[in-house]
Structure 1
Amino acid sequence: MEVTYHCQAASPDRPNDDFVLATETFVLVLDGATAPAGVDSGCVHDVPWLVAHLAPNLAVALLRDRSASLVDVLRDGIAATMADHGDACDLTNPDSPSTTVAMLRCGVDTVDYAVLGDSAVLIEVGGDDSGLIIGLDDRTAFLDDYSLAAVRRLRNTDAGFWIASNKPEAAERAVVGSVPRAVVTRAALMTDGVTRLVERYGRSWRDVLDRLDKYGPREVVADVRAEERATAPGAFKGKIHDDVTAVFCRF
């Protein structure tokens, strides 16, 4: 598997809460949830610390047992990162630092994926069943209330959404799937900073995948920034600019 990617902060004057870790057999994409101003997370660590610890912990789990399910890998990675926090952090706090996780693993017989939080994995298959498989966790798009209090109440619950933070059992709610390795031709992983090309700006998933293939992840990120600059303030809910990560995999 050949992997190319581009990861860019929302602006040059703030840390990037996205994180990518890639090898020839797996890719990990994390999108840390930016902490709202004034919210006490109960933790001495920031979001960049979280993604920089969780990604290697996931990689260790993937390498330790190459046949492990991605749900088990995700559960072990979250548990290991909780242990990394140490005693100075209150991991019972519902506002504990959190992050999305998107994983793609290329095995001998299958290509496996897992998505937790509002990121996406695209897998193109060829042959008689040609098409595009979309692994998308869009539960945050259907909340009834986006206030800080409501998000705190709904985070990591079946009534709301699940994310990697302080509950290893969140792994069991990930969107997962497997595809026969022989039919996979291309794949992509992206954070919600890039999925907005589809969800806000009317592109198709196929168009995004084709542009990643033809022009590369850097140009797709440039597409995002161009759309953001052309958008009137207040036209959409949420941030005008976001951290963005686009990954393209060729098989």
Structure 2
Amino acid sequence: MASVAARPGRLNEDFTGATPTAAVVVDGAGIPGAEPTCRHGVAWYATTLGGGLLALLSLAPGSSLPALLAEAITRVTDVHRHTCDVTSPISPSAAVAIVRVSGDGLDHLVLGDAVIVLDRPGGPPIVTTDPREVAIGRIYEARLAAITPGSDEHRRLLGELRAHRNRPGGFWVARDDPRAADEAVTGRHPIADLSAAALLSNGAGRIVDRFELTDWPGTLAFLASAGPGAVIDQVRQAERRHAAEPDDATIAYCDGLDDR
């Protein structure tokens, strides 16, 4: 695993962790200046949700991944619903990626704009993501790029964008409503057909979907040979070349599935 904040000295709002049978990546999201809405902040939300997921994955191995995510969302919401405005459009939220070995299969779940890539020997990888947030984001992309980051208008547009969260016709993320977990993209594949699994926050997934430095088979090969930290280094270099705003970047890479 590797998880790197967007800039040195800045709090990392991603989370990653693993148990012997599961791995989780949580990509926190929020708006600077939203502290009056939630005094805990995005990093706290991502870490608390991710830690809760790891505990539930260990304690309830027979439950479905959407059910476990719904329970984790409920628990973290209950922790701060009496001190924070958890229903505000600018309250902390997160994208989530989970893989879990269960019996002879690998279960996986994506909620939001995280990515899971499953490596199949002799075949193309299985790539799982949820395109809805990206599609909504493109509507606002040009307008946001033309406005000074951190300005009142920039925050207003971000708030308008995030008002599409967890609504029909919008996009779905972990926030205050556990029913969002039912909107996650899920799947199950035989372990015998897989050799590795990679979970990436959208900041790490830029290596393919934004900067096009490689494709997903190339990313898997790079992960196998050099590890998650080297992949994130490539993303950071591309951000500098393109003068792109850096993002927290996190990867969990699970190798040796075909050794089971």
Structure 1 position 23, deviation (Å): 1.8
Alignment root-mean-square deviation, CA: 1.6
Between stretches 82-91 and 219-228, larger displacement belongs to 82-91
Given residue 211 of structure 1, which amino acid in structure 2 is its aligned partner?
F
Q: Secondary structure at the match of 1:201?
A: coil
**Is 2:37 the partner of 1:26?**
no
Post-superposition offset of 1:86: 4.6
Which SS does the other structure have where 1:101 is aligned? strand
Counterpart amino acid of residue 250 in structure 2: T
Give the alignment partner of residue 113 of structure 2, picking from 90, 97, 118.
118
Question: Corresponding residue for 1:163?
Answer: 173
Runs of 4+ in 1 over 4 A off after TM superposition: none
The answer to whether the Cα contact below 8 Å between 1:20 and 1:27 also exists between their aligned partners in 2 is yes
Q: Which residue among 65, 68, 89 is the counterpart of 2:63? A: 68
The alpha-carbon deviation at position 148 of structure 1 amounts to 2.3
Deviation string, structure 1 residues 16-42 (Cα, Å, up to 9, x no partner) = 001111122100101111x32334662
Residue 153 (structure 1) aligns with:
163
SS for the counterpart of 1:104 is strand
Mapping 1:1-251, distance limit 5 Å: 5-33=1-29, 35-39=30-34, 42-126=37-121, 130-143=123-136, 144-145=139-140, 147-202=157-212, 203-231=214-242, 233=243, 240-250=245-255, 251=257
Contact 1:40 1:95 (C-alpha < 8 Å) held by counterparts: no
**In 2, are the aligned partners of 1:41 and 1:94 still within 8 Å (CA)?**
no
Say if 1:37 and 1:60 are closer, same or farther in 2 by CA, change over 3 A: closer
2:89–2:159 contact (8 Å) kept in structure 1: no
How far has the Cα of 1:131 moved from its partner? 2.6
Deviations 1:174-231 (A, max 9, x none): 1110001121111101011111111112220111111000111111111111111111
Q: Spell out, residue by residue over 1:114-167, the C-alpha distance to the aligned partner (whole angstroms, 9 max, x if none).
A: 01111100012236xx33111112212111346224213201112111111111
C-alpha separation in 2, matches of 1:66 and 1:171: 17
- Following the alignment from structure 1 to structure 2, what is the Cα–Cα distance between the partners of residues 57 and 229? 35
User: What is the alpha-carbon distance in structure 2 between the residues aligned to residue 120 and residue 11 of structure 1?
Assistant: 22
- Contact 1:107/1:181 (<8 A) preserved: no
Matched positions, count: 238
Q: Please report the TM-score for the alignment, with normalisation by the length of structure 1.
A: 0.90
Cα distance in structure 1, aligned partners of 2:249 and 2:85: 29
SS in 2 for 1:131: coil
Q: Percent identity of the aligned residues?
A: 35
Give 5+ residue unaligned stretches, structure 2: 142-156
> With structure 2 as the length reference, what TM-score do the two structures score?
0.87
Any gaps of 5 or more consecutive residues in structure 1?
234-238
Looking at structure 2, the residues matched to 98 and 162 of structure 1 have their Cα atoms a distance apart, in angstroms, of 10
Answer whether contact 1:8 1:243 (CA < 8 A) is retained.
yes
Q: Distance in 1 between matches of 2:76 and 2:184?
A: 18
Match of 1:236 in 2: none
Secondary structure, in 3 states, of the residue corresponding to 1:154?
coil
1:185 and 1:36 map into 2 onto residues whose CA distance is: 38
